[in-house]
Structure 1
Amino acid sequence: MNSLSLIAFFSGAAIAAQAGLNAQLGVWLKNPFLATVVAFAASLMVIGLSVLVTTREYPSWEAVRAVPWYLWFSGGVLSAFAISMFYFLIPKMGIGQMMAFALSGQLLMAVIASHFGWFDMPQKPLTPSRWLGIVALLVGVILINKE
């Protein structure tokens, strides 16, 4: 396991922790969407500061104008939907069950997107071993959620 794999692993752990904490905030506030607004506001502050500290060169106006129109909002809309659903579902399902289903959805979408080379990413066709991984993932979700 290289350092990038470790960073990815701990990033995944952070997603589960923040989802649990912000779902709890949603319960306290009696509104998972309000918890999402709070989480996004805190994220904006942290990332805004990170951009100010680390960015040495900003894109030109021409480069900004060349970005396809849908990229300006589609990721944010999907993020708002997914994150607010995390905060809504975790108190009802439990964090383990919710994250198992969410991770399954993420991995299946990633495998499909990778197979077709969507989002201008490298194309990695579905192989027998990748199919086996999908089956193992689904079996894992069933086992995690078995009562």
Structure 2
Amino acid sequence: MIAIIIGLTIGFGLPIQTTINSKLRDAFGSPFLSSLISFIIGTIFLAIVVVASGQVLIVGMTTISSQPWWLWLGGVFGVIYLTSNILLFPKIGSVQTVIFPVLGQILMGLLIDNGGWFSSAVQRLTVSRGLGALLVLIGVIVTVALPNYLESRKALVDVQAKADVQGSGKDGLNSWLWRLWGVFAGMLSASQTAINGHLGIVVGSAIKSAFISFLIGTVLLIIIVLIMRPKVRYKETTDQHRWWMWIGGVIGSLYVLGNAYLAPTIGTGLAVVIVLIGLMAGSLLIDQFGWLDAKRNPITPIQIIGLITMILGVVVIRLI
């Protein structure tokens, strides 16, 4: 029960972090620079927590040399996933940018559990687990895509708005390549969860595992920013500057920390779907109440049905 609460909580915080980071991006004018700032803040926060808990930040060379190479890729996968979402949005639209990575997360979570990949505990793919995962995916589609589709049909919005709902005005090979990349990015996200979970076991601390992952991600983002050299145009105005826009990295670090704890505790597949339910619930509440300067978009009955479908999927996976 504690694991489920943790999963729902960190999932709930993810759309809050996204909203906060969008404000940071608006203030600095660069998604990559804002992501780097968020990662640096998260890394510093986790470093303080590690030291406060009486642990050391450094990992011994013996540990590094004796472990598989993939153990240090969690932070890299996290950066790729984050960057992919930035790139996917203008290519396939907001709705599909959510759905295709989610599909990749669910598929990879089941594969990791079934094959015991990344040294995770084996949880065979049964009919009930497959059915539960399918219900979760259907719930995501109903919650995210169906309301937009019905609204576009009813209101007969312009072509550009329809393109955002459907993903792209041109449904050619290029669009499908981006969709496949979205699935792949989601698979990397699930892999990060499993890797960080095993890293926590190796170093004896989920907190230290999250710190290492964030540190590696920060170094990679520094390299990306140095290569791309984005223009900095900080806007310190009342509309652009909010004190809470600096805490996105803290929320992100807690998300990584929670996943590092959940993966070895309940399995990667179940951790992914529980976090997804928290994510969807958080997104709906942000839309409903317009938290953090977000545009208000009242929850519809269809979205509630979608969320209930996702919860039913978790019940099927967990109990049947």
* Structure 1 residue identity aligned to 2:133: I
Say if 1:104 and 1:138, in contact at 8 Å, map to a contact too.
Answer: yes
Alignment of 1:69 with 2:69, yes or no, is yes
Q: Residue 127 of structure 1 aligns with which residue?
A: 126
Distance (Å, rounded) in 1 between the aligned partners of 2:20 and 2:66: 38
Q: CA RMSD in A?
A: 2.6
Considering Cα pairs closer than 8 Å and 6+ residues apart, tell me whether 1 or 2 has the greater RCO.
2
Say if 2:25 and 2:31, in contact at 8 Å, map to a contact too.
Answer: yes
Q: Residue 79 of structure 2 aligns with which residue?
A: 80
Q: Residue 50 of structure 1 aligns with which residue?
A: 49
Distance (Å, rounded) in 1 between the aligned partners of 2:50 and 2:20: 25
**How far off its partner does 1:140 sit?**
1.6
**How far off its partner does 1:126 sit?**
1.0
Give the 3 Å change call, closer, same or farther, for CA 78–61 of structure 1 in structure 2.
closer
Deviations 1:47-84 (A, max 9, x none): 11111111346754422332233423x21211111123
Alignment of 1:26-45 (within 5 A): 26-45=25-44
Give the 3 Å change call, closer, same or farther, for CA 9–91 of structure 1 in structure 2.
farther
Say if 1:35 and 1:87, in contact at 8 Å, map to a contact too.
Answer: no
Distance (Å, rounded) in 1 between the aligned partners of 2:17 and 2:134: 28
Give the 3 Å change call, closer, same or farther, for CA 99–12 of structure 1 in structure 2.
farther
Deviates more, 1:60-69 or 1:113-122: 60-69
* Structure 2 residue identity aligned to 1:55: G
Distance (Å, rounded) in 2 between the aligned partners of 1:102 and 1:59: 32
Q: Residue 107 of structure 1 aligns with which residue?
A: 106
Distance (Å, rounded) in 2 between the aligned partners of 1:37 and 1:30: 13
Distance (Å, rounded) in 2 between the aligned partners of 1:6 and 1:49: 25
Deviates more, 1:99-108 or 1:29-38: 99-108
Alignment of 1:7-26 (within 5 A): 7-26=6-25
Give the 3 Å change call, closer, same or farther, for CA 55–102 of structure 1 in structure 2.
farther
| Helix, strand or coil at the partner of 1:20 | helix
The structure with the largest alpha-carbon Rg is: 2
**How far off its partner does 1:115 sit?**
0.9
| Helix, strand or coil at the partner of 2:122 | coil
**How far off its partner does 1:20 sit?**
2.3
Deviates more, 1:104-113 or 1:123-132: 104-113
* Structure 2 residue identity aligned to 1:116: G
Please give the TM-score of this superposition, normalised by the length of structure 1.
0.80
**How far off its partner does 1:110 sit?**
0.8
Distance (Å, rounded) in 2 between the aligned partners of 1:85 and 1:55: 36
**Unaligned regions of 5+ residues in structure 1, if any?**
none
**How far off its partner does 1:40 sit?**
0.7
Q: Residue 5 of structure 2 aligns with which residue?
A: 6
